[in-house]
């Protein structure tokens, strides 16, 4: 079953949510962020999220059934490395990169939630998080020339909302873990 290893390691999803919320709060705390600080904060967030997603995908026996989580992790690690190796990237290119990553990330979150729908209730939290990621990415692509402060706030709001949804989903996974039979845990 797909749900058992995720439920056993519900805390990894919780950590992903907490990291997203912390990143969002940091973005709001420093509204006058320079491009360099934004790159460092976003790069650290993407690397952490990618690493935690990859760890969650590799835990348990059936890694193949969590391909969507592994792909999110690999893409997150690759995106984070690119952000740190090319810090002089223009603001527009960075915004397009962030938007594209958010859209791809969101689509895979939706795909994973669809796989989980037969095994857990309230998978809509993960679907909603995926939809939020896609909408955020489209919004940034449509208007990449918006002011830097607006973009920082949009990124912060997205990260906090997405983090809250992941925390909610992790609590659902934890509740499911608590109802699993002792042989399954």
| pLDDT tens sequence across 162-173 | 999 999 999 999
106 neighbors 137 (Cβ within 8 angstroms):
yes
Residues spanned by the domain of 63: 3-179
| pLDDT tens sequence across 68-100 | 888 999 999 998 888 888 765 556 677 788 889
Q: In this structure, is residue 184 part of a structural domain?
A: no
pTM over 0.75: no
Task: Please tell me the total count of domains within the chain.
Answer: 1
Whether residue 150 has pLDDT greater than 80? no
Task: Annotate 63-102 with three-state secondary structure.
Answer: HHHHHHHHHHHHHHHHHHHHHHHCCCCCHHHHHHHHHHHH
């Amino acid at each position: 079953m797909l749900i058992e290893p995720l439920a056993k390691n519900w805390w990894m999803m919780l950590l992903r949510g907490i990291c997203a919320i912390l990143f969002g709060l940091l973005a709001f705390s420093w509204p006058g962020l320079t491009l360099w600080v934004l790159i460092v904060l976003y790069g650290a967030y993407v690397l952490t999220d990618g690493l935690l997603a990859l760890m969650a995908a590799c835990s348990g026996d059936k890694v193949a059934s969590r391909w969507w989580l592994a792909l999110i992790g690999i893409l997150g690690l690759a995106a984070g490395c690119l952000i740190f190796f090319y810090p002089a990237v223009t603001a527009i290119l960075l915004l397009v990169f962030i938007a594209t990553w958010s859209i791809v990330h969101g689509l895979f979150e939706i795909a994973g939630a669809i796989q989980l729908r037969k095994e857990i209730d309230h998978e809509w939290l993960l679907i909603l998080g995926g939809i939020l990621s896609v909408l955020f990415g489209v919004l940034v692509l449509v208007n990449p020339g918006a002011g830097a402060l607006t973009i920082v706030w949009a990124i912060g709001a997205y990260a906090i909302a997405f983090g809250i949804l992941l925390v909610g989903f992790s609590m659902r996974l934890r509740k499911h873990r608590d109802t699993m039979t002792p042989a399954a845990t």
